[in-house]
């Protein structure tokens, strides 16, 4: 099955690249990957995560984490709530001599079981307490909270190094009967994402995508809304804006080229849509993230 390779650049502070926030599952988190490590801690209801070729159901109280570069997406799950944590491993002080005496940070995260359902229960509890403490510090922002956040992140790494089990071969799958029934939906959504990723800058239409997966436009509209929590046009606009933000943050191009590369039919339309959705002009956005 094809997998989206869309790069996400999380909105993290360059000086302290960590964030934690609540997500209520109202919309699809479409396929992406990022170099940061990400933890998902479900605190209400259940969510379904697309990872590799599986749709994994993560229930209340459970944790799933993604290593750097691991492509994933999350289906819309209204009524759920999850805490999301993203951080760059450069936050950690890792001396080269120590790497020869113990596992590196990269090895620790890459070799451990991603799903807490495959951990001992007491380990899941300890990790969840650590994540809850991290989120509390983000919310309260008391004096010295960044030091506390870093402390809890070190505690998290130590827990993974000492107590979180390594992946078994073959990897255990944690799919429920319901998620197996959704396999066909997962495959169709992935086909849609792949088509959008290949054609977002060519004037792709709803009718074209519907025809590509064998749906009528009417049925496709309902199918897409049900599984993403948004309309096709809204999703495509957000996708193009995210592409534009990535370009603005990494390349120095004329705005007409940014508009063209991100799929807008004119620089005027690009400027209007960007300002309406982001709250500032593309140029102002670029200056704000460059520090100029």
Q: What are the boundaries of each domain within the chain?
A: 18-177, 200-290
* pLDDT exceeds 70 at position 105: yes
Residue 114, class by beta-carbon neighbours within 10 Å (0-12 exposed, 13-18 middle, 19+ buried)? buried
Q: Could you read off the pLDDT of 163-220 as tens digits, one per residue?
A: 999 987 543 343 344 443 456 776 788 788 888 888 998 889 999 999 999 999 999 9
- For the chain, what percent of residues have pLDDT higher than 90? 51
Mean pLDDT (the chain) is 85
Q: What pLDDT is stored for residue 179 in this prediction?
A: 40
Beta-ladder partners of 46: 59
List the one residue out of 127, 132, 106 whose CA is nearest residue 115: 127
Q: What pLDDT is stored for residue 8 in this prediction?
A: 65
CATH 3.40.50.720 is the classification of domain 200-290: no
Please, where are the H alpha helices in the chain?
Answer: 96-99, 105-111, 121-140, 145-162, 177-181, 183-199, 206-213, 217-228, 232-250, 255-261, 267-278, 282-290
* pLDDT exceeds 80 at position 74: yes
Q: What pLDDT is stored for residue 290 in this prediction?
A: 65
Residues 6 or more apart in contact with residue 193 via CB below 8 angstroms: 4, 30, 31, 73
Q: Yes or no: say if 95 and 58 are a contact pair by the CB < 8 Å rule.
A: no
Q: What is the mean pLDDT of residues 75-92?
A: 90
Q: What pLDDT is stored for residue 172 in this prediction?
A: 38
Q: How far apart are CA 131 and CA 259, in angstroms?
A: 39
Q: What pLDDT is stored for residue 6 in this prediction?
A: 58
* pLDDT exceeds 90 at position 86: yes
Q: What is the mean pLDDT of residues 251-265?
A: 92
The values of phi and psi at residue 208, to 5°, are -65, -45
pLDDT tier for residue 94 given thresholds of 50, 70 and 90: low
pLDDT tier for residue 100 given thresholds of 50, 70 and 90: low
pLDDT tier for residue 239 given thresholds of 50, 70 and 90: confident
Residue 266, class by beta-carbon neighbours within 10 Å (0-12 exposed, 13-18 middle, 19+ buried)? exposed
List the one residue out of 21, 57, 17, 55 whose CA is nearest residue 37: 17
Cis peptide before 170 (omega within 30 of 0): yes
- For the chain, what percent of residues have pLDDT higher than 70? 86
Q: Which tokens is 172 given?
A: 């255990």
pLDDT tier for residue 274 given thresholds of 50, 70 and 90: very high
Q: What is the mean pLDDT of residues 123-142?
A: 96
Q: What is the mean pLDDT of residues 34-45?
A: 93
Superfamily of domain 18-177: Regulatory protein AraC (2.60.120.280)
* pLDDT exceeds 80 at position 245: yes
């Amino acid at each position: 099955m094809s997998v989206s390779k869309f790069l996400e650049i999380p909105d993290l502070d360059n000086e302290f690249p960590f964030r934690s926030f609540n997500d209520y599952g109202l919309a699809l988190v479409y396929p992406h990957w990022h170099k940061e490590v990400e933890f998902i801690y479900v605190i209400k209801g259940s969510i379904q995560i697309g990872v590799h070729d599986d749709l994994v159901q993560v229930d209340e109280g459970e944790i799933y984490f993604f290593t750097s570069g691991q492509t994933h997406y999350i289906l819309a799950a209204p009524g759920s709530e999850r805490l999301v944590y993203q951080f760059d491993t450069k936050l950690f002080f890792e001396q080269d001599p120590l790497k020869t005496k113990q596992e590196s940070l990269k090895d620790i995260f890459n070799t451990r079981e991603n799903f807490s359902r495959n951990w001992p229960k007491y380990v899941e509890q300890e990790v969840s307490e650590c994540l809850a403490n991290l989120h509390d510090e983000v919310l309260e922002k008391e004096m010295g909270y960044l030091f506390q956040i870093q402390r809890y992140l070190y505690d998290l790494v130590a827990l993974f190094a000492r107590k979180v089990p390594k992946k078994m071969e073959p990897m255990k799958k944690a799919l429920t009967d319901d998620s197996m029934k959704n396999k066909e939906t997962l495959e169709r959504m992935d086909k849609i994402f792949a088509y959008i990723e290949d054609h977002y800058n060519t004037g792709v239409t709803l009718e074209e995508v519907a025809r590509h997966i064998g749906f009528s436009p009417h049925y496709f509209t309902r199918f897409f809304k049900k599984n993403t929590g948004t309309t096709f046009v809204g999703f495509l606009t957000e996708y193009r804006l995210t592409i534009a933000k990535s370009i603005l943050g990494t390349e120095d191009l004329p705005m007409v080229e940014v508009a063209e590369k991100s799929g807008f039919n004119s620089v005027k339309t690009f400027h209007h849509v960007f300002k309406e959705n982001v709250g500032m002009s593309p140029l102002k956005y670029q200056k704000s993230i460059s520090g100029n």
